[in-house]
Structure 1
């Protein structure tokens, strides 16, 4: 097996992980920033006020992007299995 093939697979897998995590975490980070600005403006220091909206947005993003995430991961895994003969030989 050529080291370049291994690096390409690693790079593609790492890129896929970053895209999948970003699809769920970026909306949560944006809501967290908005709530933090609201808390700073009103001087309300309640921990649940920042936690609950981020939790709801994260769950919504997981429900919304879940089918796409599953399809993307399944396609990557299927492509790995299809490419096994080429990688080994």
Structure 2
């Protein structure tokens, strides 16, 4: 079943970004994922204010693929750098409609 990663990221120190992006690109592809959106162009239209500089949506072929990406030892130092250098949230969402 398809899963989606939905992230909101606001860098607090941009020093990690140049090293992060190429490695993340490679590892997302390695684990069967693909970026659907990486953009600073977004607008919140409902709910309490939840600002973020960047919104990211990735598609994964399975929950296991997404979890393997996050747990990949090659990704670990880059994840730590992103976590230290940004305010980030990451949701993993199952691609099904439970209300249908």
Greater RCO (CA < 8 Å, at least 6 residues apart): 2
* Structure having the larger proportion of residues in strand: 2
* Both proteins in one fold, TM over 0.5: no
After TM superposition, the score normalised by the length of structure 2 is 0.28
* Structure having the larger proportion of residues in helix: 1
